[in-house]
């Protein structure tokens, strides 16, 4: 079979939820007084949108092959991501064979080293990479997971992230991860409220259900140690997530040494590339790595991160990212379960994570998803034609 070449890459922006899942209307649990590194400023404490968490918007990358097949992806990146794709990365993509995924990644990464390495540039490289995997799998008429070695389990099991682990338990999830609401700036009273929320939820879900806290980079080592110790010893917390700044590898190493035995330390959703995760592993920063496949460098890089983690005996439980995670998690022994982000404003029902941007996006039923739900070619999703795409830098 002769492999098609890539004719065009196009980059679009899109507003209103979806891949930029923080871009929600008022009254959503995901923007309700969640502790952040900006919470030290009272004027930015109530809402994450107030300090601009939703400024980027969704980046849609569309790649068209010479045989007419189109692959696409969505991630967070907006206009800036479009600029990087159209003005810089397109030269490495157009004209290449659809199988040139590894070479294109290497060229994109090395050509952007002088202004990239992490953040928006890696989000954008991830977006291109996911679209390339979608394209190649569609050309081959196979699901992406088949290209990754195939499923190692018959189904995925999920924990739920949201404000209502008690409802998540009723819906069949294996655990519930809540956002932390009060940071160190709210002092002892805030710490007390954080523990009261956990106590209340533990009483509602019983003793066996996993409960986790997502601290969204907002704590310091001392506060995180106190919180984790009380939360583990009194309320059986399963893990404490992203307690510190992603730049503070030394703090994570100290926190992991400080917390009670059995409590897991997780981080990595704002980390990127094999080199960033190598630091987390070699400095013994955590027990669970949580790369976001739409931000860490795409599937091509997640393979490397996952293999490195496996050799260190660590779990990889990717952050959110819907089908882009599911196709990977189902192929890995060291990714035994997956995250589901509850995007219903009150976290009281299961809705597709990237709603409304994708069609055919599978969701867990009773906290599970059969491997057969992922058997359509590519990542198995379509862009919703009702969503208005905007191409800021057409060529
Ligand atoms: Mg998180």
**One-character DSSP codes across 134-189:** HHHHHHTTSBHHHHTT--SSSEEEEEEESS-HHHHHHTT-SEEEEE----GGGHHH
Q: How high is the pLDDT of residue 162?
A: 98
Residues in CB range of 222: below 8 A, 6 or more apart: none
* Residues, the chain: 395
**What value does the mean pLDDT take over residues 287-298?**
98
Asked, as a colleague might, if the bond just before 392 is cis with ω within 30 of 0, I would say no
Q: Tally DSSP H helices, then E strands, for the chain.
A: 12, 14
**What value does the mean pLDDT take over residues 219-234?**
98
Half-sphere exposure of 138 (CA within 13 A, CB side): 23
**What value does the mean pLDDT take over residues 31-38?**
96
Q: Which of 11-25, 249-263, 340-354 has the lowest mean pLDDT?
A: 11-25
**What value does the mean pLDDT take over residues 301-328?**
98
Tokens 């009773």 locate to 366
Q: How high is the pLDDT of residue 70?
A: 98
Query: Quick check: helix, strand or coil at residue 120?
Result: helix
What average pLDDT does the structure give for the chain?
Answer: 97
Give first-to-last CA distance, the chain, whole Å: 31
**What value does the mean pLDDT take over residues 380-390?**
96
CA of 291 to the centre of ligand 1 (A): 10
Q: 359-363: long-range contacts at Cβ-Cβ below 8 A with a sequence spacing of 24 or more?
A: 359/383, 359/384, 361/322, 361/323, 362/323, 362/326
Which residues are in the CB-under-5-Å shell of ion ligand 1? 214, 269
Q: How high is the pLDDT of residue 2?
A: 86
Backbone angles phi, psi at 146, to 5 degrees: -70, -35
Angle between helices 298-311 and 322-329 (to 10 degrees): 40
Query: Quick check: helix, strand or coil at residue 24?
Result: coil
CA of 198 to the centre of ligand 1 (A): 17
Residue 178: pLDDT band (50, 70, 90) is very high
pLDDT tens string 140-161: 999 999 999 999 999 999 999 9
**What value does the mean pLDDT take over residues 197-212?**
98
CA of 341 to the centre of ligand 1 (A): 10
**What value does the mean pLDDT take over residues 290-302?**
98
Structure tokens at 87: 């003005």
CA-to-CA separations, 148 to 130, 139, 145, 362, in angstroms, rounded:
13, 15, 5, 19
Query: Quick check: helix, strand or coil at residue 117?
Result: coil
* Cα 49 to Cα 38: distance, rounded to the nearest angstrom: 11
Residues 383 and 359: beta-carbon distance below 8 Å: yes
Does residue 319 have an active-site annotation?
Answer: yes
**What value does the mean pLDDT take over residues 235-263?**
98
Residue 1: pLDDT band (50, 70, 90) is low
Radius of gyration of the chain (CA): 20
CA of 367 to the centre of ligand 1 (A): 19
Given a cut of 70, is residue 279 above it in pLDDT?
yes
Give the Cβ contact number of residue 331 at 10 Å. Answer: 21
CA of 241 to the centre of ligand 1 (A): 6
Catalytic residue among 8, 319, 327, 333: 319
* Cα 231 to Cα 34: distance, rounded to the nearest angstrom: 18
Given a cut of 80, is residue 106 above it in pLDDT?
yes
pLDDT tens string 15-27: 988 899 988 889 9
Q: How high is the pLDDT of residue 17?
A: 85
CA of 42 to the centre of ligand 1 (A): 22
CA-to-CA separations, 53 to 87, 186, 221, 243, 248, in angstroms, rounded:
25, 21, 24, 18, 21
Q: pTM of this prediction?
A: 0.98
CA of 293 to the centre of ligand 1 (A): 13
The residues pairing with 8 across neighbouring beta strands, listed in sequence order, are 64
Backbone angles phi, psi at 230, to 5 degrees: -65, -40
**What value does the mean pLDDT take over residues 242-265?**
98
CA of 217 to the centre of ligand 1 (A): 9
Return the percentage of the chain with pLDDT > 90, whole number. Answer: 97
DSSP 357: T
CA of 302 to the centre of ligand 1 (A): 17
CA of 243 to the centre of ligand 1 (A): 9
Give the Cβ contact number of residue 386 at 10 Å. Answer: 8
Given a cut of 90, is residue 123 above it in pLDDT?
yes
Structural domains in the chain plus CATH codes: 6-20+56-142 (3.30.390.10), 147-376 (3.20.20.120)
* Cα 102 to Cα 126: distance, rounded to the nearest angstrom: 12
């Amino acid at each position: 079979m002769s492999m098609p070449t890539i004719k065009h890459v196009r980059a679009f922006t899109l507003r209103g939820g979806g891949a930029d899942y923080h871009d929600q209307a008022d009254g959503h649990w995901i923007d309700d007084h969640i502790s952040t590194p900006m919470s030290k400023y009272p004027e930015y404490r109530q809402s994450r949108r107030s300090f601009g968490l939703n400024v980027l918007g969704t980046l849609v990358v569309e790649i068209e092959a010479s045989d007419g097949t189109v692959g696409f992806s969505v991630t967070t990146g907006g206009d800036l991501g479009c600029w990087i794709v159209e003005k810089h990365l397109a030269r490495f993509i157009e004209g290449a064979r659809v199988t040139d995924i590894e070479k294109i990644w290497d060229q994109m990464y090395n050509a952007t080293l002088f202004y990239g390495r992490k953040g928006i540039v890696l989000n954008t490289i991830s977006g291109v990479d996911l679209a390339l995997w979608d394209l190649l799998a569609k050309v081959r008429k196979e699901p992406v997971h088949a290209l990754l070695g195939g499923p190692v389990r018959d189904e995925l099991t999920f924990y739920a992230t949201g404000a209502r682990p008690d409802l998540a338990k009723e819906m069949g999830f294996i655990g519930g991860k809540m956002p932390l609401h009060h940071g160190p700036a709210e002092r002892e009273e805030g710490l007390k409220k954080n523990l009261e929320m956990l106590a209340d939820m533990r009483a509602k879900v019983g003793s066996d259900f996993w409960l986790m806290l997502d601290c969204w980079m907002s704590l310091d080592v001392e506060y995180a140690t106190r919180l984790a110790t009380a939360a583990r010893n009194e309320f059986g917390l399963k893990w404490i997530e992203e307690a510190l700044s992603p730049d503070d590898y030394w703090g994570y190493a100290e926190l992991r040494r400080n917390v009670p035995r059995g409590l897991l330390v997780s981080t990595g959703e704002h980390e990127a590339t094999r080199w960033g995760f190598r630091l987390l592993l070699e400095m013994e920063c955590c027990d669970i790595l949580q790369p976001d496949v739409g931000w860490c460098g795409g599937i091509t890089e997640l393979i490397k991160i996952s293999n490195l983690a496996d050799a260190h005996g660590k779990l990889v439980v990717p952050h959110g990212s819907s089908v882009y995670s599911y196709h990977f998690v189902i192929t890995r022994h060291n990714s035994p379960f997956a995250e589901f982000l509850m995007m219903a404003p009150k976290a009281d029902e299961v809705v597709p994570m990237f709603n409304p941007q994708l069609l055919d996006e599978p969701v867990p039923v009773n906290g599970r998803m059969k491997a057969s739900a992922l058997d359509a070619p590519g990542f198995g999703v379509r862009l919703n034609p009702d969503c208005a795409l905007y191409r800021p830098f057409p060529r």
